[in-house]
Amino acid sequence: MKLFKIRGGVHPHDNKHLAAGQAIEDLPMPALLHIPLQQHIGAPAKPAVRRGQQVAKGDLLAFSQGVISAPVHAPTSGRVMGVGSYPAHHASGLSVRTVTLKPDGEDRWSDEIQGVSDPFALTPEEIATRVAAAGIVGMGGATFPSAVKLNLRTRYRLHTLVINGAECEPYLTCDDRLMREHAEEVIDGVRIMAHALGVERIIVAIENNKPEAQAAVALAASVDPRIRVARLPTRYPMGSEKHLVQALTGRETPARGLTADIGVVVHNGATAFAVHEALRFGRPLVSRIVTVSGGAVSRPRNLRVPIGARVQDLLEYCGGFTEQPAQLISGGPMMGQPLPSTRVPMVKGSNGVLALTGAEAAGHEPMPCIRCATCVQACPCGLVPLDMAAHTRAGDLDGAVSLGLMDCIGCGSCAYVCPAHIPLVQYFNYAKGEMAARGRAKQKMTETKRLAEQRTARMEAIKQAKREAMAKRKREAAAKKAAETAAADAATMTSGAAAEPTATTAEA
Amino acid sequence: MQIETAPSSAGPFAHARTSIQRTMSLVMLALLPATLFGFWQFGWPAIFLFFATLSTAVLAEAVCLRIAGKPQRQYLLDGSALLAGWILAVSLPPWAPWWIGAIGALLAVVVAKQVFGGLGQNLFNPAMVARVALLISFPLEMTNYVQPMPLFSADAPGFLQSVGISLGQPGFDAVSGATLLSHVRTELSQGLTLTEILPDMGYLFSGAVGTIAGSMGETSALLILLGGLFLLVKRVITWHTPVAMIGSLAILATLMNLYDPEHYAGALYHVVSGATLLVAFFIATDPVTSPVSKTGQIIFGAGCGVLVYVIRTWAGYPEGVAFAILLMNACTPMIDHYVRPRVYGRDRRGTPIEYADNAEMRK
Ligand code: SF4
Ligand code: SF4
């Protein structure tokens, strides 16, 4: 199909050969699983199990909380050892609420697990409900609850579903292997999602460095004439949602908007597979395919990993390290996060674990910017990274924002090519974090101000009430006195004077 | 087996094989053929001048770095001082005394670069600042060109004689020759016409090959072009600046030539003579002092071309391309401020794109 040009981008050495030839293997069940309750964007799930409770595979461990949230299920059968806190799969290494599960070795599915014989007979709402109940989130790393994305049809006029199989990050091959080995299941999931979205156009987009996946998907897709396979040029960041849509449709997503603004919804291939599993078999999302790779890994592999297995379990299965890695990363080398330790558990959004050698990770002393404009040419968003970095460094965050900081997708193309090795993305992350903090502080300030104003108003009201009460009491006292005097007078004089104090009271 | 790596704060954890040092080395490599040709054409005095200029540049840089308290090794190895010295050297009259090169290097490194804050901070191209300052301060030495006398040829000065030339001692009888540009300029002002001054097209050939009086590394248009193409292939530079500059110069020359062929030379004359190509590929493309956007670079290049033409044709310095560069350098911040790439998802003015059929259902 006809493709459109996208701006900028880079051609990093893809290093996919390390793991691309390895068929998916099951990771042996670890002795313990640590399943975090927040593995998605949105509110954390709320525990539904107690310590000591016996659960079957697929049983609910935690409820979804609110509109943007996702439930969490037991990745295998076993006993809940506790609900506590455990280091998160995150660069910060902070702890989050986590269910610890001791597998009983039977890996027995719950009896309640039941699929639908014909998902296409369901209404879109029913499909979305099932997807939500299965705890499916965007598996390309964004981890946005998928059901919310399926429900976009109520707010937007959608026409196209794009399946993002670009996998443009170097090293990662999990989507490649999944599409090669489970093309039919992926395509089935794609068709179910298309049904839920009510779209008539489906494009599965795969980069040209994955010819086997392209062929397998094209074959599987022949069952449905609506599906087209797009063969994408190999270029980073082709898998960036907005750029992918531009390459396929020629249209840019409006700034600060969603691809749904131009009628397109993008889902990941692994998400489609999870939807297939959830609808056909009723299985919630309890495992995923992960690439374990990097120059420091003895035997790079693609593994099917139960959620909650520790990074260490994966690395051990892959034969450990050949040398001490310089950098341990979750995800790809371009946009992945450094991992603080090998203890952290795998989550729904983790598509790769990379252990890079010093030579691969390429840390260099930064030099001053020579304004060579390589970063300007490389930026897929049309930004001028050197200027944004200079403003950030000078502390002028508003200046950086006016230069388009918030339009930066953090893809790292600029830093990748910078001959001065300036950590541009680090500057941008810092600035974005700082702006978010400022936003929160500002919100807090207006909130505090509002509360203070409310309080003043309340105090004012109380004072007013007190004053009134006082005045009333005074008047009553006066009235009483007057009445007494009047009564005393009346005792001696005529009874007609009694009307006067009553009138005074009425005035108040 | 459990490891704790220090989490480096942000990606990417991969890097293209680039560095400032690599960029600078490639530029020097591209300059090498024209420089060697210059050595051969102008002999030992040119070689002495070259090394005097480069060693002063590096020495000055080292001292400045020390004073500024910057890591000397890291910054000296980036090659920027060496390259600035190199570009200055090849733009000097080849038989200029050694101290011309040394003073020029000091001006370039200390005044034009380090005073502004060092690498990446200078507003003006260091080599061009030095060249202009020298031209104004030492007009005699800076306009004293010689005809090529290839190394080891019969008339060429020997090693010792060359030392004398470099030290500025009179004695060796050189065939001094004006550059093509100043020759034509002088003759035109005498009232001659172009057909009388340049009866045949031979000057085009000698200008292209480089068998002609001129600055040390500027004479051979072909070798400079070769170096420029190498930089384009290696993606050290993009086509925008050189094409815009040569293009605007050529268009202007052609128009004026059509208007009055007896007094205004054609496009080829301007392209092969003097420093045109050196400037287009090596100096106007200096990253530090030129704009960062493609459109900006086109504007910058076109501006250089027009100014070069104007200065050559009507101002007092036929070899005054350096002025053109400095003037455009001064415009760079303004160009960069007004000319930016269009941001994804926004129109040129920065408002988010709206399509007539945006898919959101507005109720
Ligand atoms: S790539 Fe690096 S050195 Fe070049 S302009 Fe950008 S920030 Fe400056
Ligand atoms: S990280 Fe931001 S500024 Fe850098 S290339 Fe990507 S989008 Fe552009």
Average pLDDT for residues A265-283, to the nearest whole number?
A: 95
Nearest to A138 by CA among A333, A350, A291: A350
On whether A381 is known to bind a ligand per the annotation, the reply is no
Is the confidence at residue B85, as pLDDT, over 90? Answer: yes
Do residues B146 and B257 both lie within one domain? Answer: no
Question: What pLDDT score was predicted for residue B30?
Answer: 96
If one residue of A413, A417, A424 were mutated to test the ligand 2 pocket, choosing by the most ligand atoms within 8 A of its CB, it would be A413
Give the total number of structural domains in chain A. 2
Nearest CA to ligand 2 atom 4: A414
The atom of ligand 1 lying closest to the CA of A368 is: 3
- Would B206 be classed as within a structural domain? yes
Question: What pLDDT score was predicted for residue B358?
Answer: 65
Do residues B104 and B142 both lie within one domain? Answer: yes
What distance in angstroms lies between residue B340's CA and the mean position of ligand 1's atoms? Answer: 15
Do residues A299 and A394 both lie within one domain? Answer: no
Average pLDDT for residues B3-21, to the nearest whole number?
A: 72
The shares of helix, strand and coil residues in chain B, as percent rounded to the nearest 5, are: 60, 0, 40
At residue A241 the predicted structure's pLDDT band, cuts being 50, 70 and 90, is very high
Do residues B94 and B172 both lie within one domain? Answer: yes
Contacts of A362 in chain B (CB under 8 A): 13-15
Question: What pLDDT score was predicted for residue B214?
Answer: 84
Distance set, CA B355 to CA A48, A130, A257 (Å): 46, 34, 12
Least confident piece of the model among A280-294, B143-157, B250-264: B143-157
pLDDT in tens, B186-213: 888 887 887 777 777 777 777 777 778 8
| Window 13-52 of B, Cβ < 8 Å to A | 13-16, 18-20, 22-23
Question: What pLDDT score was predicted for residue A500?
Answer: 45
Question: What pLDDT score was predicted for residue A502?
Answer: 44
- Would B119 be classed as within a structural domain? yes
Do residues B25 and B172 both lie within one domain? Answer: yes
C-alpha dihedral (B124, B126, B127, B130), degrees to nearest 10 = 90
Do residues B205 and B170 both lie within one domain? Answer: no
Distance set, CA B78 to CA A28, A431, B14, B310 (Å): 51, 29, 21, 36
Is the confidence at residue A359, as pLDDT, over 60? Answer: yes
- Would B71 be classed as within a structural domain? yes
Question: What pLDDT score was predicted for residue A491?
Answer: 62
Q: Pick from B288, B291, B352: which is nearest to A255 by CB? A: B352
Contacts of B361 in chain A (CB under 8 A): 155-157
Question: What pLDDT score was predicted for residue A504?
Answer: 43
pLDDT in tens, A387-410: 999 999 999 999 999 999 999 999
Q: Are B298 and B244 in contact (CB under 8 A)?
A: yes
- Would B193 be classed as within a structural domain? no
Distance set, CA A221 to CA A182, A218, A229, B104 (Å): 12, 5, 8, 70
Do residues A344 and A404 both lie within one domain? Answer: no
Least confident piece of the model among B68-77, B87-96, B219-228, B321-330: B68-77
Do residues A75 and A101 both lie within one domain? Answer: yes
Question: What pLDDT score was predicted for residue B186?
Answer: 80
Nearest CA to ligand 2 atom 5: A379
Average pLDDT for residues A101-107, to the nearest whole number?
A: 93
For residue A35, what are its two tokens?
Answer: 């399943």
Best of B78, B239, B344 to disrupt the A interface (most A CBs within 10 Å) is B344
Question: What pLDDT score was predicted for residue B330?
Answer: 96
Do residues B27 and B142 both lie within one domain? Answer: yes
Is the confidence at residue A135, as pLDDT, over 90? Answer: yes
**Helix pair A183-197, A269-281: axis angle to 10 deg:** 80
Do residues A326 and A432 both lie within one domain? Answer: no
Average pLDDT for residues B277-292, to the nearest whole number?
A: 94
Nearest to B22 by CA among B109, B73, B108, B83: B83
- What letters, b where the CB count within 10 A reaches 16 and e where it falls short, cover B282-319? bbbbbbbbbbbbbebbbbbbbbbbbbbbebbbeeebbb
Do residues A368 and A346 both lie within one domain? Answer: no
Distance set, CA B1 to CA A17, A92, A321 (Å): 26, 21, 9
Question: Which domain, by its residues, includes A387?
Answer: 364-484
pTM exceeds 0.90, yes or no = no
- Would A417 be classed as within a structural domain? yes
- Would B269 be classed as within a structural domain? yes
Q: Which CATH number belongs to the domain containing residue A139 in this structure?
A: 3.40.50.11540
Q: How far apart are CA B142 and CA B134, in angstroms?
A: 7
Residue ranges in A397-423 assigned as alpha helix (H): 397-402, 413-417
The pLDDT > 70 percentage for chain B reads 94
What distance in angstroms lies between residue A367's CA and the mean position of ligand 1's atoms? Answer: 10
Question: What pLDDT score was predicted for residue B173?
Answer: 66
Do residues B208 and B163 both lie within one domain? Answer: no
Do residues A479 and A374 both lie within one domain? Answer: yes
Do residues B205 and B145 both lie within one domain? Answer: no
What distance in angstroms lies between residue A237's CA and the mean position of ligand 1's atoms? Answer: 19
Is the confidence at residue B163, as pLDDT, over 60? Answer: yes
Question: What pLDDT score was predicted for residue A249?
Answer: 92
Question: What pLDDT score was predicted for residue B9?
Answer: 67
At residue B2 the predicted structure's pLDDT band, cuts being 50, 70 and 90, is very low
At residue B4 the predicted structure's pLDDT band, cuts being 50, 70 and 90, is very low
Do residues B152 and B206 both lie within one domain? Answer: no
Give the total number of structural domains in chain B. 2
Average pLDDT for residues A286-301, to the nearest whole number?
A: 95
- Average of per-residue pLDDT values in chain A: 90
Question: What pLDDT score was predicted for residue B175?
Answer: 66
Residue with the larger pLDDT of the pair B128 and B10: B128
Taking CA–CA distances from B18, the nearest residue in chain A reads A419
Do residues A317 and A437 both lie within one domain? Answer: no
The pLDDT > 70 percentage for chain A reads 95
Do residues A99 and A146 both lie within one domain? Answer: yes
Give residues (CB < 6 A) around ligand 1. Answer: A 369-375, 385-386, 418-420, 422
Do residues A218 and A241 both lie within one domain? Answer: yes
The atom of ligand 1 lying closest to the CA of B20 is: 3
| Window 141-180 of B, Cβ < 8 Å to A | none
Question: Which domain, by its residues, includes B133?
Answer: 19-177
Residue ranges in A406-423 assigned as alpha helix (H): 413-417
Whether residue A338 is preceded by a cis peptide bond, meaning omega within 30 degrees of 0, is no
| Window 291-310 of B, Cβ < 8 Å to A | 291-294, 297
- Would A9 be classed as within a structural domain? no
Do residues A187 and A329 both lie within one domain? Answer: yes
A 10 A CB-CB count for A109 gives: 18
Listed residues B177, B192, B226: the one ending a domain: B177
What distance in angstroms lies between residue B351's CA and the mean position of ligand 1's atoms? Answer: 26
Question: What pLDDT score was predicted for residue B113?
Answer: 92
- Would A112 be classed as within a structural domain? no
Question: What pLDDT score was predicted for residue A508?
Answer: 39
Distance to chain A for B59, nearest Cα, Å: 20
Taking CA–CA distances from B19, the nearest residue in chain A reads A419
Do residues B48 and B166 both lie within one domain? Answer: yes
Distance to chain A for B307, nearest Cα, Å: 24
Q: How far apart are CA B121 and CA B296, in angstroms?
A: 19
Do residues A293 and A385 both lie within one domain? Answer: no
Taking CA–CA distances from B118, the nearest residue in chain A reads A368
- Average of per-residue pLDDT values in chain B: 87
Distance to chain B for A315, nearest Cα, Å: 9
Best of A256, A370, A393 to disrupt the B interface (most B CBs within 10 Å) is A370
Residue with the larger pLDDT of the pair A272 and B267: A272
Question: What pLDDT score was predicted for residue A503?
Answer: 43
pLDDT in tens, A472-499: 888 888 877 777 777 666 666 554 444 4
Q: How far apart are CA B65 and CA B33, in angstroms?
A: 31
Is the confidence at residue A455, as pLDDT, over 80? Answer: yes
On whether A168 is known to bind a ligand per the annotation, the reply is no
Which amino acid belongs to residue B266? G
Contacts of A329 in chain B (CB under 8 A): 11, 13
Do residues B157 and B205 both lie within one domain? Answer: no
If one residue of A240, A369, A376, A379 were mutated to test the ligand 2 pocket, choosing by the most ligand atoms within 8 A of its CB, it would be A379
Do residues A210 and A297 both lie within one domain? Answer: yes
- Would A497 be classed as within a structural domain? no
- Would B24 be classed as within a structural domain? yes
The atom of ligand 1 lying closest to the CA of A374 is: 1
Do residues B65 and B171 both lie within one domain? Answer: yes
Question: What pLDDT score was predicted for residue B255?
Answer: 95
- Would A501 be classed as within a structural domain? no
Q: Pick from A252, A361, A370: which is nearest to B120 by CB? A: A370
Residue with the larger pLDDT of the pair B76 and A212: A212
Give residues (CB < 6 A) around ligand 2. Answer: A 378-379, 381, 383, 385, 408-414, 424-425, 428
What distance in angstroms lies between residue A375's CA and the mean position of ligand 1's atoms? Answer: 6
What distance in angstroms lies between residue A387's CA and the mean position of ligand 1's atoms? Answer: 9
Instruction: Kindly determine whether residue A338 and residue B13, on different chains, have CB atoms separated by under 8 Å.
Output: yes
